[in-house]
Amino acid sequence: MEPILNLINKEAVRAFEAAGYDGSLGKVTLSNRPDLCEYQCNGAMAAAKKYKKAPILIAGDVAAILEKSEVFQEVTAVNPGFINMKLNREFLTGYLQDMQADENLSVEKAKEPKTIMIDYGGANVAKPLHVGHLRSAIIGESVKRIARYAGHKVIGDVHLGDWGLQMGLIITEVKKRQPDLVYFDENYQGEYPTEAPFTISELEEIYPTASGKSKEDPAYKEEALEATAKLQDGVRGYRALWQHILNVSITDLKKNYGNLNVEFDLWKKESDAQPYIPDMVEYMKKEGYAYMDQGALIVDVKEETDTKEVPPCMILKTDGAALYTTTDLATLIDRMKNYHPDEIIYLTDKRQEMHFTQVFRCARKTKLVEENTVLKHIGFGTMNGKDGKPFKTRTGGVMRLEWLIDDINAEMFKKITENHSVDEAEARETAKIVGLAAIKYGDLSNQASKDYIFDVDKFTSFEGNTGPYILYTIVRIKSILAKYQVAGGVLQNGRIGLAASASEKSLMLELTRFAPTIYQAYEEIAPHKICSYIYDLANEFNRFYHETKILSEENEEQRASWIALLDLTKRVLETCIDLLGFEAPERM
């Protein structure tokens, strides 16, 4: 379906031409004075200079023609030369009826679908998921769903961190604790045990212990570095142990991401890039891109126009070990070979901006990607506590994701059971659904690049610009629709009729903005546009709802028409929250 603004715009172009002016002046926008009109055109001002005629006269000429169009109910020329427009009710209803009949709710799928890879989540194996990884998962999941809804082929990859020093640290600590394990016996030739020598909770304790020790004890750190190199070199016992760490950890991560409604198509890892590294290094040396500098292998990536220093991209450390940049570059080789994406979008904390500048420049310079492969890094801001500092537990430790979710759910449960008696099990279930919406909406309603304050009280409120408010609105609609059906009404039969009040017309106008919102959210990689849209839509709906007695309306046709409008509103809201990555309960 063509966006409504295009249809309106075409009318304006025609009218400018019919009045003898350049058609391109007929550009229409949403009104910035909704109290006066719904749409406006300022083309007469620009025309005034070109035609040396008073703008109000030009606006008058054009308005006189637009008046006759079926699209408008009222067109007025106002000083100094604005053209104010209000839509015809028939035209608006016709548009909404088409939208109602369209399974894509008027969104046109991309004509030339792109293959887009989204690199998000980015958890590190054997380290507990903490709130820092929360934003990547939440934003990435939404970006993925939006691009998919826009009609593209989208592949989400978790890209786990499993190849760096943290692995060497864990191996070292395991060795200290259980030196007799067969993994450390260099002469061992047989099969390794299938059972891991640790559980997930042990693993989660091992890492911080090891990391702490390595900071105090240089010899310990040296050992961990060595273990990392041995692992990367393919020492059998180390690889077997690492495989155990992966298995135990990934099972746990799948559960955690599952609780967040985050689904990856690929569970690839940094280590999957390892097989490409030796050839990549050879190639970069042979082509003269990479050279040795103080023992390290580097590629220069600075550019003349740089305003700040961009250090060379390091390919191998002095000890020959691969780094974060190395695996990211080699991963690009894997991705180009196996998925051939048109575009790759990376979601990490914005402090990794320089890393991605280096990686992207190096990949282009060394031709690991094609000239037209788009590489984008979306760097997000920090999630802060009310004190404005990075979010911590009450005792000041690193906040684990599960704890945070538990806190929110408990608060939600309290709110849900506060006002009315509900079955405890059902309330717990509802609290989970609403709690997730509170977290995700709280995050996504901010522009990704900005820091934001994680405010439990605010995020869990049923009023204001929050996830629970949006869900509450959906639940309200669901309940009206259910009552209508219980009374014998049939949802499918309803056709949206003419707006009977100003609030109904505003709601209808808001619904037509669904498709443009989706296009914009996709183009700008901006889920927050969807949040602000559904906040406006929910407000318009609630205004209409408070002014209208829907179920007790005597006129059957009018009642059915309102029910149809509610049903469309619900479909739009539910589609939007699905794109944000959460859902609505039946009741709350």
At its nearest, how many Å lie between ligand ARG and the CB of residue 120?
8
Of residues 197 and 390, the one with the C-beta less far from ligand ARG: 390
Could you tell me which of 240, 157, 258, 263 has the C-alpha nearest to residue 193? 240
Tokens 């940049």 appear where? 325
The H or E element containing residue 142 is helix 131-149
- By residue count, the chain amounts to 588
Contacts of 511 (CB under 8 A, 6+ apart): 96, 99, 537, 568, 569, 572
Per DSSP, the three-state class of 303 is: coil
Is the CB of 40 or the CB of 348 nearer to ligand ARG? Answer: 348
The distance of closest approach from Cβ of residue 331 to ligand ARG in the complex, given in angstroms and rounded to an integer, is 6
> Least CB distance from residue 189 to ligand ARG, whole Å?
34
Give me the least distance between CB of 348 and ligand ARG, in Å please: 5
CB 445 within 8 A of CB 465: yes
Minimum distance from residue 161 beta carbon to ligand ARG (Å) = 3
CB of 552 to ligand ARG, least distance (A): 55
Question: Measured between alpha carbons, how far is 249 from 246 in angstroms, rounded to an integer?
Answer: 5
Q: List residues near ligand ARG by CB under 6 A.
A: 119, 122, 124, 159, 161, 328, 346, 348
Cis peptide before 80 (omega within 30 of 0): yes
Shorter beta-carbon distance to ligand ARG: residue 295 or 311: 311
Closer residue to ligand ARG (CB): 122 or 581: 122
Is the Cβ of residue 59 or residue 126 nearer to ligand ARG in the bound state? Answer: 126
Measured over the CA atoms of residue 228, residue 230, residue 234 and residue 239, the dihedral's sign is negative
Cβ 295 to ligand ARG shortest distance, Å: 25
Q: Whose CB is nearest to ligand ARG?
A: 122
- Name every residue whose Cβ is closer than 8 Å to that of residue 365 and which is 6 or more positions away in sequence: 289, 299, 301
Closest CA to 516 of 502, 491, 533: 533
Residue 328 Cβ vs ligand ARG, minimum distance, rounded to whole Å: 5
Q: What is the DSSP string of 320-350?
A: S-B-HHHHHHHHHHHHHHHT--SEEEEEEEG
Nearest residue (CB) to ligand ARG, 132 versus 516: 132
Query: 271 or 348, CB closer to ligand ARG?
Result: 348
Task: Name the residue among 352, 445, 523 with its Cα closest to residue 139.
Answer: 445
Nearer to ligand ARG, 173 or 272 (CB): 272
